[in-house]
Amino acid sequence: MNVAPDNPELIDRLAAEYVLGTLRGAARVRFERWRTTSNLVNDRCQFWEERLVPLLREIQAVPPPPHVWQDIRRRLNFSTAAPRRRNVRALALAASVLLVVGLAAFLYWRTLTTERATEVATISAPSGALMWQVEIYGRAGAARGLSVHAGAFAAPPEGRDYELWALPKTGAPVSLGVLPYRESVTRRALTGEQQQALDRSSQLAVSIEPPGGSPTGAPTGAVVFVVSLRVAT
Amino acid sequence: MNVACGRIAMSTATESDSEFDQTLLRLLAGCAAQDQAALQSLYELVSPLLFACLKRMLRRRSIAEEALQDVFVTIWLRAGQFRPERGRPLAWLVSIARYRAIDLLRRERWAPALTADLPEQAAAAPEKEQWLSAGPLLERCLALLTDQQRQCLELAFVGGNSHDEVARLTGSPLGTVKSWIRRALQTLKACLES
């Protein structure tokens, strides 16, 4: 049958099993053909694709090995001279992606600390779940400290660690240390280099690194979050 | 603190998801305009999720890596066909990956090793990252299903298992599994459309 049947209930049942993945073999091939020619089939597929995607919520993200991206570039004949502006653009884009003001958590957290934070940043997963609340204490020029509170969903990536970075407006990112996980809190004094970097930064980034943090002092893995520092109120 | 975090996760999921969607849309538009940097940013953003899906469905890392290449080549070539008014970009991206995996499962001669899969599926998962929020609606609708129905849906959707494989993995007759899945989908449909 090359033309989709005019039976909405049948189409919907098949679309659900197609998206679920249990429609297999010749029936799947035929249904895929219908999808390219029938708006009804396509609409029902999209309905199920959107509704079932959240079933993946428990899956643990796994960063692919670096060679995969190089292989993709080769297959698409991308120029070998990768434009460096990418970094700036990727950071700018990522910055707009992932941020939520976790006001309640922030207020709650504030009640636990005696010293007032001067700058804060909230890092959230795409789902909106709070990952980390970062607070910086002390004014620019004075001795400063950093405290990071990990949310309930902040878990390490498979066999690696998340590392926090200050992103100075000019110059290289400066490590602020490996991030804590699952409701724990880290508090530490900042070194002179870290304080200077923070004075020139309006953003923080999080990258995926080998256990214990980047061995080189610069981010080596994917930058997964970029967030703006806000003045604490 | 548990309570506070949980509440935040729920109350901000929608807002954050839509911001996430906006970024995906911008990157897809960039890909459609042949902007290589847009594809790279998109890759950095969603490849860990798509790779995890592919690895789970295909079970073999090397095959999942090849599939991930196919997926991003497809995304690059088809980005211009994506219509934001017709659906969410993440569902579109995930579907490209899942359908590629199902294609490979169908075409490859190798038989996937099923045994390793079940314990992982069945294990409680306190340590898993929450990349996607189920959203209150799906969560409410999933709660209407029996444990068996929910397990079958997850084995099929997340694990990439066919009816036969779900039957083997759950130790239930094929006909029973088919009807569990059919009824689960009917229940979900009625609930999601209400």
**pLDDT digit string (tens) for A2-58?**
677 889 999 999 999 999 999 998 999 999 999 988 999 999 999 999 889 888 877
Please report the pLDDT score of residue A185 as a whole number. Answer: 78
Across the interface, do B51 and A64 touch by the CB < 8 Å criterion?
A: yes
The count of residues in chain A is: 233
Do the domain assignments include residue A47? Answer: yes
Closest chain A C-alpha to B83 CA, distance in angstroms: 11
Choose the closest CB to B157 out of A20, A60, A94: A20
Q: Are residues A103 and A203 in the same domain?
A: no
Q: Are residues A43 and A85 in the same domain?
A: no
Q: Are residues A122 and A225 in the same domain?
A: yes
Do the domain assignments include residue A1? Answer: no
pTM for the predicted model, two decimal places: 0.60
Q: Are residues A27 and A126 in the same domain?
A: no
Contacts of A212 (CB under 8 A, 6+ apart): A161, A178
Regarding predicted confidence, which is higher, B119 or A21?
A21
Closest chain A C-alpha to B34 CA, distance in angstroms: 10
Query: Lowest-confidence range among A58-67, A124-133, A154-163, B12-21?
Result: B12-21
**pLDDT digit string (tens) for A88-97?**
445 444 443 3
As a whole number of angstroms, the distance between CA B9 and CA A153 comes to: 9
- Taking only residues 121 to 180 of chain A, the set having a beta carbon closer than 8 angstroms to any beta carbon of chain B reads 124-130, 151-153, 155, 157
CB burial of residue A198 (10 Å; 0-12, 13-18, 19+): buried
When pLDDT is cut at 50, 70 and 90, the band that residue B150 belongs to is: very high
Count CB-CB contacts under 10 A for residue B3: 10
Average pLDDT estimate for A77-100: 50
Tell me how far the alpha carbon of residue B78 is from its chain's centroid: 19
What is the chain B residue with the closest CA to A25?
Answer: B106
Choose the closest CB to A60 out of B40, B52, B163: B52
Average pLDDT estimate for A96-103: 32
Across the interface, do A100 and B23 touch by the CB < 8 Å criterion?
A: no
Q: What percent of chain A has pLDDT over 70?
A: 79
ipTM reported for the complex, 2 dp: 0.82
Q: Are residues A89 and A159 in the same domain?
A: no
Q: Are residues A140 and A194 in the same domain?
A: yes
As a whole number of angstroms, the distance between CA B24 and CA A143 comes to: 40
Number of independent structural domains in chain A: 3
Selection from A52-66, A215-229, B175-189 with the highest mean pLDDT: B175-189
Q: Is A66 on the interface with B (CB under 8 A)?
A: no
Q: What share of chain A is helix, strand, coil (3-state, %, to 5)?
A: 35, 25, 40
Q: Is A16 on the interface with B (CB under 8 A)?
A: yes
Across the interface, do B132 and A155 touch by the CB < 8 Å criterion?
A: no
Please report the pLDDT score of residue A6 as a whole number. Answer: 83
Please report the pLDDT score of residue A115 as a whole number. Answer: 54
Q: Are residues A26 and A90 in the same domain?
A: no
Which of these, A169, A200, A186, lies nearest to A134 by C-alpha position? A186
Domain with A37, as residue range(s), is 8-53
- φ, ψ at A79 (rounded to 5°): -60, 145
Q: Chain-wide mean pLDDT for chain A?
A: 79
Q: Are residues A134 and A88 in the same domain?
A: no
Do the domain assignments include residue A3? Answer: no
Query: Lowest-confidence range among A14-28, A35-49, A104-118, B175-189?
Result: A104-118
User: Tokens at residue B37, please?
Assistant: 């940097």
Do the domain assignments include residue A152? Answer: yes
**pLDDT digit string (tens) for B32-56?**
999 999 999 999 889 999 999 999 9
Q: Are residues A162 and A182 in the same domain?
A: yes
Count CB-CB contacts under 10 A for residue A138: 18
CB contact at 8 A, A72 and B73: yes
Choose the closest CB to B51 out of A62, A86, A223: A62
Amino acid found at B70 = D
Q: Are residues A168 and A214 in the same domain?
A: yes
Q: Are residues A62 and A39 in the same domain?
A: no
Of A70, A87, A112, the one marking the end of a domain is A112
CB contact at 8 A, B153 and B145: yes
Choose the closest CB to A21 out of B13, B87, B156: B156
Count CB-CB contacts under 10 A for residue A139: 11
